[in-house]
Structures are given as structure tokens and as C-alpha cells.
């Protein structure tokens, strides 16, 4: 059970796959379009898509000789959005730390 969750996080644990999932959050796309938008080789895109498929993050639809990909659950888009909020918040903290390095009397408490 935890292993299953871990596999999903593993599927999201790569910048390229995050890019793909974010793109798919806007709507479905063909494999070729994805590799073009993300800016990677066709082979590499196909491999990342296979991982997202195997971990049940995306689903496919076939039309002619194109394959359309879409998110299996909007939850994944939401999770990336939550993560974005968190990253932004942490970036602020990190900037405060930089400020400390430049000025030891910076406005952050509980630092010794």
C-alpha cells in the first residue's frame, strides 16, 4: 500500500515528468506534441510517458496513428499546484536566509 503511493511519487519525481503533467493539466495532447512542447527527443518522451502510464498517472486514447495522453485524475494537477504554493513559500524563507548571510541582524527569530 505504501509501496503503491511511493510509486506514484516516484512517477512525479523528475523535472521532465512534472513538466509533462503540468502540460497535460491544461488538456490532452499527443505524444509528439508533448515531446515538442517539453523539448526532448521522441524516444525520451516516450520513455517518460511509459513510466507515467505504468504508474497510472496518465491514460491514453488512440486516434489514427496518434496517441493522445491525458491525466487520469485531476488530483495530480492539484498536487502540483499545492506543491507550487509550498515551493513559493519556501523560496521566501530561503531568501531570508540569504539576507541573514549578508546581515547577521536580519529579521528572523530562533536562529542561533
Partner DNA sequence: TTAGAATATTCGCAAATGCTATAGTGGTGG
Partner DNA sequence: CCACCACTATAGCATTTGCGAATATTCTAA
Question: Which residues here bind its own copies, judged by CB under 8 A?
Answer: 1-10, 12-15, 17-19, 22, 56, 73, 75, 78-80, 82-87, 89-90
Residue 49's Cβ-count burial label (10 Å; 0-12, 13-18, 19+) is buried
- Residue 43 contacts DNA per CB under 7 A: yes
Residue 2 or 106 having the CB closest to DNA: 2
Given a contact cutoff of 8 angstroms between Cβ atoms, the answer to whether 25 and 71 are in contact is yes
Which residues 6+ apart lie within 8 Å of 54 measured at CB? 11
Residues forming the site for DNA (CB under 7 A)? 10, 13-14, 16, 30-33, 40-44, 46-51, 60, 62, 64-67
Amino acid at each position: 500500500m505504501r509501496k503503491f503511493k511511493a510509486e506514484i511519487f516516484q512517477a512525479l519525481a523528475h523535472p521532465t515528468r512534472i513538466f509533462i503533467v503540468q502540460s497535460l493539466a491544461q488538456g490532452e495532447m499527443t505524444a509528439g506534441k508533448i515531446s515538442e512542447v517539453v523539448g526532448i527527443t521522441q524516444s525520451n518522451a516516450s520513455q517518460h510517458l511509459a513510466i507515467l502510464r505504468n504508474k497510472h498517472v496518465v491514460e491514453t486514447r488512440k486516434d489514427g496513428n496518434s496517441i493522445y495522453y491525458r491525466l487520469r485524475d485531476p488530483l495530480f494537477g492539484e498536487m502540483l499546484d499545492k506543491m507550487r504554493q509550498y515551493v513559493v513559500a519556501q523560496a521566501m524563507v530561503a531568501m531570508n536566509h540569504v539576507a541573514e548571510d549578508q546581515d547577521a541582524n536580519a529579521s528572523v527569530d530562533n536562529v542561533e
